[in-house]
Amino acid sequence: MADSDKEHLHKELPVIQPTEMKGQHYWKSLRQFYNDPSAIEAKAHEFMEGVVDDFKLSNLTDMSRRKFLALLAASASFAASGCSLYQSKGEVIPYNKEPVGVIPGIPDYYASTCSGCKHACGILVKTREGRPIKINGNDEHPVSKGKACARGQGSILNLYDPERLREPMKKDGSGFSSVSWQAADTAIIEELNKAASAGKEIAVVMNTLNSPTAKRVLDDLAAKYQTVKLYSYELFDDLTRQSAWTKSYGAGSYPLIDWDKAKLILSLESDFLGNEGNTIENARLYTATRNNADLKNFSRLVVFESGMSLTGMNADLRLRLRPELQYDLVMSLLNEFVVKRQTSRYALDKGIIDALQGYSIEKFAAESEIDPKSMDSIISYMAKYKNASILYAGDRLPEQVHVAVNLLNDVLGSTALYRKDQSEAVILPYSSLEEWKTLVAGMNSGNVAVVVHLGTNPVYHLPKSVGYADALAKVPTVVTLSQTESETSAASDWVLPTNHDLESWNDFKTRTGFYSLQQPVIYPLYVNRQKEAVLLTWAAGSESAYHDTLYHDYMMARWEKEVYPPLRLAVGFKEFWFSGLDVGVVSFNEQAEGFDSFNVAAFTSSVAPSAAKGFTVTLAESYFLGDGRFANNGWLQELPHPVTKVVWDNYAALAPATAKELNVDYNDLVEVTVEGNNLKLPVWIQPGMAEKVVAVELGYGRTHAGTVGSDVGFNANILQTSGGAFSQWINSSASVSRADGTFEIITTMEHHSLDNKLVENMQFNRGIIREGTVEEYGKEPNFIQQERKEDEPTTIYKNYEYNGIKWGMAIDLNKCTGCSACVISCNVENNIPVVGKDQVKVSREMQWIRIDRYYSGPPVEPRISLQPMLCQQCDDAPCENVCPVAATTHSPDGLNMMVYNRCIGTRYCSNNCPYKVRRFNFFNYRHHFDGEYYLKQPAPMVSNPEVTVRTRGVMEKCTFCVQRLVQAKQDALQEGKEFTGSGVVVACQEACPTRAITFGNVNDKESEVAKLREHPLGYYVLEQLDTKPNVTYLAKLRNV
Amino acid sequence: MSEGSYGEVIDYTKAPPLLEGNPTLSKIDESIAAPMEKFPSKKYFMALSVTLTMLLIGAVALGYTLYYGIGMWGNNIPVGWAFDITNFVFWIGIGHAGTLISAVLFLFRQRWRTAIARFAEAMTIFAVMCAGLFPLIHLGRPWYAAFVFPIPTQHGVWINWNSPLIWDVFAVSTYFTVSLMFWYIGLIPDLATMRDRTTNWFKKKVYSILSMGWRFSNRHWQQYEKVYVILAGLATPLVLSVHSIVSFDFAVSILPGWHTTIFPPYFVAGAIFSGFGMVMTGLIIVRKVFNLEYIITTDHLEKMAKVTLLVSMMVAYAYLMEPFIAWYSGDPVDWYLVLMRATGHYAVGFWIMVTCNVFIPQLFWFKKIRRNVAVLFVISLLINVGMWLERYIIIVTSLYRDFLPSSWHIYVPTIYDFGVLIGSFGLFFTLVLLFARSLPVISMSEVKGVAESAHPTHIGVEHE
């Protein structure tokens, strides 16, 4: 305290009287106490200066309240803009201007056509915000009728394949360098001009050409460059069948079969349900005769084959027969009917009778070691159903077998089953082996200047003896138009990226009477172009002729000029065109090819193919990789083989006895030699194989297929024979020997020792498979229910009552052929990851639905039972009560739910699931598989946005496509309708070509599934456990 | 025990002394405290380096597992559990003998327990720690492990009380808590002794805090004895409940080979069996290494061998009942599983298990073998092997051959499975070694209580 202050205090210190204190004389400060003038002055004012007296807004701040709030908001949003939202990590782009008809979150469907194989089925593409996410069949398509096969559905992954070619490339030393389309087109057009003017051949190589407009484009190209020659092929073609029909009936094509009217189907080395013809249609028509409500028209399928095929799995009677003996079989049957039983007018034909001398059923039975009783039963059946017994020879059998089969069908009157309404349309016939040899000779001699591959891969496909790959090196200019790299693109000078189906325009004519239209559902992802548009550019002679809608305009113009006028429609072209695109199919009247009488001259007694001495090698197309074009598709590689359940490999399938003879076991290598070409293959022991036959699938062993598909399996294409006595795919003079080493084949179903008595008939003893015969069912329709009674569980608990909707499924085992389309459909719908061979090896495949295959009977002639197995959505689900965190619970509509967010991954639920349908993410599979292959852009785009992508450590399983159920419920709610659960379709059901799967509300007594639950053939798997499953299986009936 | 030589009068009504050589009380204190007061020997460091290496192997294996996922192990579908839960059940089993020896034998006034109780209890604690690790790391997403506790959240999601895994959480954590308390209460007088003995200021601080002001007063002893008996009473039912509940993990499921009512007693017997095996292994090493043969006498070991023989036969009974019931029920699934266990891919493991757990312990019928420490040691190791295999066989064989043959698949462990198993042994023995250096492995106060000098006699009659 300063001295002056002290003085002040002492001087003026007043005496404080106690009374004053009592009078509540409070003082605020010493200044006030001593009556400082400033304090007295201040006392006059209630507030400090500037607070009240001269209160002006402007004194405080020049900011208005409004401005303050605006600034506050702005700064808050400015601050927020600095935060990183998770959306900013990816690209979440809202529509700036919403396209007409696109509502975010609502899928759009477009009709188009799949060109995954030559059959070009109609498809319906589901897109979300312009992004295709699923391929289904198009209901309007007259052949596929709303269904798409496994390959077609899986092909959506090829669109988003990260290794699709993105820009044109030119050979540059040993590698390739990127070029512009302009540069590529200009250079190629120059080469074409040079070749044409020098009179040197321009070879255009393609697979089946089934688009009339594309054919027109090629014609234009040929008009511009006179030396253009077209070549087409398939790895597995129908040339022998074709030529047999031309000989037998003088027809340009062969007829389709009315499988649905057949009473007896005799399939000779033919896989018509799995690989030959349009299998979607074949399976649908065939299973129409396997209707348990129509026992009268129940067909009988008898299969004579050497390997175990998908068709063979479905046979009522399957007999092993080496392919060389197929001719004897048909001839003996002919002998039986024509000579012995004097059936048909041919009984008087001397030529035929002479030809049939020396064949008899007894002799055949002795030679083939087939039980004569089986033959008797087949013959009596054939005699009984004369006009409804169809013999069908496989495409791989030689011509004389086909001719003999044609005659036998004629003898039996089975020509009634040849379809009259429709026949195959051939736009460009396949090139014969001779033509290929001429081409190769030209290539070698320098007569071929340019080779253009239109999406084909002949370097990989054509038989080695043709010498295509070597000759190609001598061609000055090789151009390959392809979506992905291939063995052929690697051997080319120019590689041009082309469009996926879903980016393309086209029209397809595979049969008489209709066109199937292909329209793009997404703009080309890269600078890739449609191959027809590239050809048109070349045909125009200048690279500047190209524009985005080149082929589209061309096709519309052709349709307007050629297709539309003859239809004589009342609507204008535009309306016609858009309605055509809307439906995807344009039908018109066209006469199917007719067939006259059998040309007897065609039937001559030819020498039977050499009887088997050595080994016979049979080659077949891979069920899911096709000719190898789907090799880079992880979903299809991981789809278990319908018969062996092998994934990610091909193998040499051998009969158990043959394996014993060669002293080999599973996974041992054998060396197969055909015409000097040898290949080491791992052994797969297949029950039901004919002895001394080696069955191998093609489509594997690719060297330039991409990261996923390269070096998977073995390239057995080199075992094809050219000009062999039998056929390109069957060689009966092969040699097979044991080789050193092993190679592990991976399967999703463990193979057990075939003679293990312990596991014999386990599927029946345990109440997994129930089946009977048609006869049994006819006599006692309740035989399954009587069987079920033995396993009937009792409980002391009261069942939960489901009063509203209760979801349920029924699967008709009579109709399931094991085609596996449902598995892929589920994969695509539910974002199932690819796990890779190493993970399937340790049994960690992720598919939510699988097709179980059980053998019964002796290993030499096994019977097969198939069973699609998915989550049974048990009412008393054993998985639910063991989850510690309630991550799997039951919904009031009967679903066994899986809450991924809550799951901590104890795996107890899976342990306690008797059906073992739960799948665990042992790794973050998208990270784990092949160097994060399916995380590379744009692969994740294939994901269905309605379904969570599961992380590692989480259990998952079939949900009955709960996203679809919820959507349907929501739609009904919005439309103000009562939701009965009708009309909801789940992914597996959607895909099933034979409609074996029924789904719906079991509480709706009108629903189909409710009726099937009460069906006399209905049963549940493992019902003795009283888990109360909700998937009803309808027992298979065998017609034996 | 002294051999009754000719001419000497042996009083068969009197139990042989529990300590050999009538040691003085101070000698007891000294020899028990010795490991803590001397600088550890080379042998100790060698042992510790071995166990730490094992622990490190486990840490690396576990690190990979946590980083990449459970896929590093051999587990698959159908074999969702394998080494992980096998180890869990195995270690829980090991943790059983401790409580049994200390609590149950205490209640039955089996005074021979004094020499081995502390060690057995410590083993219980460490074994339960090892066991507790496995339910945590076997999770697909261990970072969400807290979901198993009833923690109220805004989501309103509750745990599933129906799940045996939730029962496990509570059974094991209760068991651990009570065992820890029991062990700690028993330690207090010894901690005080150590406090009084030590000259190191740091040790003194630690022991002082831990001994909670124990002054060996009469009043302290009275309260101590009361608490101890109450805790023993609490721990005894837990011996039965924990392993019963662990067995529910299997018995409550519907899987063949798991769904069996015999499991609770079978598992408890197995746990006691394996626990005694492990305690024997540990004690034989400890008495040898720390020269405590006169406290942990051959008599102790013989008594343990007798108990082991008894529970071995109980286990054998369960082994017999399993196939019998499977056969008697007529259930083809159960019967097939029994056959697969004995003849399938894991048959070697099965027969080793039967040999180790049933046949070899039958040697304990012979007194010579019961008293031969070397043989006892080998047998105790074999029992450990057998009991680990028992859990492995129960878990893996039931899963790999369940209802649908279509999904059957063999299980093959990976190096990461073995790594984690080795790591758990590393953790266990590291803890045991650290324990032996820092706390009295034998209860000083109790051993002193059974010393002859603690019981003044008058012409052979004990003063009560």
Instruction: Quote the CA–CA distance of A152 and A554 in Å, as a whole number.
Output: 27
Q: Which residues of B touch A886 (CB under 8 A)?
A: 157-160
Nearest-Cα distance to chain A for B248, in Å, is 10
Q: Which residues of A touch B162 (CB under 8 A)?
A: 881-882
- Who wins on pLDDT, B372 or A354? B372
Average pLDDT of the segment spanning B287-295: 76
Is the pLDDT at A19 greater than 50? The verdict is no
Instruction: Work out the pLDDT band at A104, boundaries 50, 70, 90.
Output: confident
Is residue A511 included in any domain, yes or no? no
Instruction: Work out the pLDDT band at A41, boundaries 50, 70, 90.
Output: confident
Question: What is the model's pLDDT at position A18?
Answer: 47
Question: Which amino acid makes up residue A234?
Answer: E
Q: Are both A720 and A763 inside the same structural domain?
A: no
What is the domain-level CATH number for residue A391?
A: 3.40.228.10
Question: What is the model's pLDDT at position B251?
Answer: 92
Check CB contact of B169 with chain A, cutoff 8 Å. yes
Instruction: Quote the CA–CA distance of A326 and A391 in Å, as a whole number.
Output: 12
Question: Of A239-248, A368-377, A862-871, where does the model show the most confidence?
Answer: A862-871
Q: pLDDT digit string (tens) for B88-136?
A: 999 998 888 778 878 887 888 777 777 778 888 888 899 999 999 999 9
Is residue A152 included in any domain, yes or no? no
Is the pLDDT at A415 greater than 80? The verdict is yes
The β-bridge relationship of strands A997-1001 and A1018-1019 is unpaired
- Closest C-alpha to A516, from A144, A126, A990: A144
Q: Are both A767 and A858 inside the same structural domain?
A: yes
Instruction: Work out the pLDDT band at B2, boundaries 50, 70, 90.
Output: very low
Q: Where are the beta strands (DSSP E) in A571-614?
A: 585-587
Is residue A351 included in any domain, yes or no? yes
Instruction: Work out the pLDDT band at B21, boundaries 50, 70, 90.
Output: low
Instruction: Quote the CA–CA distance of B430 and A208 in Å, as a whole number.
Output: 72
Q: Are both A762 and A743 inside the same structural domain?
A: no
Is the pLDDT at A910 greater than 50? The verdict is yes
- Closest C-alpha to A809, from A1000, A985, A959: A1000
Question: What is the model's pLDDT at position B118?
Answer: 85
Is residue A190 included in any domain, yes or no? no
Lowest mean pLDDT among A20-29, A377-386, B157-166: A20-29
Q: Which of residues 430-459 of B touch A (CB under 8 A)?
A: none
Instruction: Work out the pLDDT band at A299, boundaries 50, 70, 90.
Output: very high
Question: What is the model's pLDDT at position A302?
Answer: 93
Q: Are both A882 and A1028 inside the same structural domain?
A: yes
Average pLDDT of the segment spanning A909-936: 92
- Who wins on pLDDT, A34 or A943? A943
Is the pLDDT at A122 greater than 90? The verdict is yes
Q: Which residues of B touch A919 (CB under 8 A)?
A: 77
Question: What is the model's pLDDT at position B457?
Answer: 64
Q: pLDDT digit string (tens) for A320-366?
A: 998 888 888 998 888 888 888 887 777 777 878 888 888 888 888 88
Q: Do A766 and B333 touch (CB under 8 A)?
A: yes
Q: pLDDT digit string (tens) for A655-687?
A: 999 999 999 999 999 999 988 889 999 999 999
Q: Are both A274 and A413 inside the same structural domain?
A: yes
Instruction: Quote the CA–CA distance of A394 and A405 in Å, as a whole number.
Output: 10
Q: Are both A660 and A780 inside the same structural domain?
A: no
Lowest mean pLDDT among A106-110, A277-281, B106-110, B204-208: B106-110
Question: Which amino acid makes up residue B83?
Answer: F
| pTM of the predicted model over 0.95 | no
Average pLDDT of the segment spanning A250-259: 85
Q: Are both A782 and A693 inside the same structural domain?
A: no
- Phi, psi of A371, rounded to the nearest 5 degrees: -60, 120
Lowest mean pLDDT among A710-724, B160-174, B381-395: A710-724
Instruction: Work out the pLDDT band at A109, boundaries 50, 70, 90.
Output: very high
Task: Give this complex's ipTM.
Answer: 0.90
- Who wins on pLDDT, A808 or A792? A808
Q: Are both A848 and A725 inside the same structural domain?
A: no
Q: Are both A720 and A811 inside the same structural domain?
A: no
In sequence order, what are the beta bridge partners of A864?
A855
Q: Domains in chain B and their CATH numbers?
A: 25-450 (1.20.1630.10)
Q: Do B404 and A911 touch (CB under 8 A)?
A: no
Task: DSSP letter for A498, please.
Answer: B
Question: What is the model's pLDDT at position A85?
Answer: 56
SS3 A684: strand
Check CB contact of B412 with chain A, cutoff 8 Å. yes
Task: DSSP letter for A800, please.
Answer: P
Instruction: Quote the CA–CA distance of B383 and B97 in Å, as a whole number.
Output: 13
User: Which among B72, B158, B160 is the top mutation candidate for probing chain A, defined by the most A β-carbons within 10 Å of its own β-carbon?
Assistant: B160
Is residue A681 included in any domain, yes or no? yes
Q: What b/e sequence results for B400-434 when a residue is b if at least 16 CB atoms lie within 10 Å of its CB, and e otherwise? A: bbbbbbbbbbbbebbebbbbbbbbbbbbbbbbbbe
Q: Which residues of B touch A912 (CB under 8 A)?
A: 253-255
Is the pLDDT at A395 greater than 70? The verdict is yes
User: Which among A876, A889, A904, A919 is the top mutation candidate for probing chain B, defined by the most B β-carbons within 10 Å of its own β-carbon?
Assistant: A904
Q: How many CB pairs under 8 A join A and B?
A: 177
Question: What is the model's pLDDT at position B103?
Answer: 82
Of A747, A765, A800, the last residue of a domain is A747
The β-bridge relationship of strands A1031-1034 and A771-773 is unpaired
Average per-residue pLDDT for chain B:
86
Question: What is the model's pLDDT at position A45?
Answer: 66
Q: Which residue of B has its CA nearest to A853?
A: B406
User: Could you count the other beta carbons within 10 Å of the beta carbon of residue A490?
Assistant: 15
DSSP per-residue string spanning A942-997: GS-TTSPPP-TT-EE---SSHHHHHHHHHHHHHTT-----TT---HHHHH-TT--E
Is residue A842 included in any domain, yes or no? yes
What is the domain-level CATH number for residue A938?
A: 3.30.70.20
Question: What is the model's pLDDT at position B40?
Answer: 81
Check CB contact of B154 with chain A, cutoff 8 Å. no
Check CB contact of A224 with chain B, cutoff 8 Å. no
As a whole number of Å, the CA-based R_g of chain A is 37
Q: Are A233 and A431 in contact (CB under 8 A)?
A: yes
Is the pLDDT at A170 greater than 70? The verdict is yes
Instruction: Quote the CA–CA distance of A138 and A1024 in Å, as a whole number.
Output: 41
Lowest mean pLDDT among A987-991, B7-11, B307-311: B7-11
Q: pLDDT digit string (tens) for A201-212?
A: 999 999 999 999
Tokens for B133, please give them. 């690790």
Instruction: Quote the CA–CA distance of A1038 and A12 in Å, as a whole number.
Output: 126
Tokens for A922, please give them. 């042992």
Q: Are both A318 and A357 inside the same structural domain?
A: yes
- Who wins on pLDDT, A610 or B392? B392
What is the domain-level CATH number for residue A636?
A: 2.40.40.20
Long-range contacts of A437-446 (CB under 8 A, 24+ apart): A437/A466, A437/A722, A439/A201, A439/A203, A439/A229, A439/A231, A440/A466, A440/A467, A440/A468, A440/A471, A442/A201, A442/A203, A443/A203, A443/A471, A443/A472, A443/A474, A443/A475, A444/A471, A444/A474, A446/A200, A446/A474
DSSP per-residue string spanning A701-740: --SSS-TTTTT-S--GGGG--SS-SSBTTEEEEEEEEEEE
Check CB contact of A761 with chain B, cutoff 8 Å. no
Is residue A323 included in any domain, yes or no? yes
Instruction: Work out the pLDDT band at B456, boundaries 50, 70, 90.
Output: low
Residue A188, C-beta contacts closer than 8 angstroms, at least 6 positions apart: A450, A477, A479, A494, A538
Continuous segment of H or E residues that includes residue A123: strand A122-128
DSSP per-residue string spanning B447-462: HHHHSGGGS-EETTEE
- Closest C-alpha to B446, from B227, B206, B187, B218: B187
Number of domains in chain A: 4
Nearest-Cα distance to chain A for B175, in Å, is 19
Question: What is the model's pLDDT at position B10?
Answer: 57
Is the pLDDT at A26 greater than 80? The verdict is no
Nearest-Cα distance to chain A for B29, in Å, is 48
Nearest-Cα distance to chain B for A295, in Å, is 31
Is the pLDDT at B1 greater than 50? The verdict is no
Check CB contact of B403 with chain A, cutoff 8 Å. yes
**Among the partner residues B157, B165, B410, nearest to A906 by beta-carbon distance:** B165
Is residue A950 included in any domain, yes or no? yes
The β-bridge relationship of strands A677-685 and A652-654 is parallel
Specify the residue for token string 């600088």.
Answer: B39
Instruction: Quote the CA–CA distance of A566 and A573 in Å, as a whole number.
Output: 12
Residue A815, C-beta contacts closer than 8 angstroms, at least 6 positions apart: A287, A290, A992, A994, A995, A996
Q: Do A844 and B254 touch (CB under 8 A)?
A: no
Q: Are both A777 and A699 inside the same structural domain?
A: no
Question: What is the model's pLDDT at position A316?
Answer: 92
Q: pLDDT digit string (tens) for A598-653?
A: 888 778 766 655 555 688 999 999 999 989 999 999 999 999 999 999 999 999 99
Is the pLDDT at A74 greater than 70? The verdict is yes
In this structure, chain B runs to a length of: 464
What share of chain B has pLDDT > 70, as a percent?
92
In sequence order, what are the beta bridge partners of A131?
A128
User: Which among A882, A903, A958 is the top mutation candidate for probing chain B, defined by the most B β-carbons within 10 Å of its own β-carbon?
Assistant: A882
**Among the partner residues B75, B140, B145, nearest to A952 by beta-carbon distance:** B140
Nearest-Cα distance to chain A for B55, in Å, is 24
Q: Are A269 and A326 in contact (CB under 8 A)?
A: yes
Q: Do A842 and B74 touch (CB under 8 A)?
A: yes
Q: Are both A778 and A917 inside the same structural domain?
A: yes
Instruction: Quote the CA–CA distance of A976 and A970 in Å, as a whole number.
Output: 10
SS3 B155: coil
In sequence order, what are the beta bridge partners of A170?
A177, A494
Residue A775's domain comprises 757-1038
Is the pLDDT at A50 greater than 60? The verdict is no
Q: Are A435 and A612 in contact (CB under 8 A)?
A: no
Instruction: Work out the pLDDT band at A772, boundaries 50, 70, 90.
Output: very high
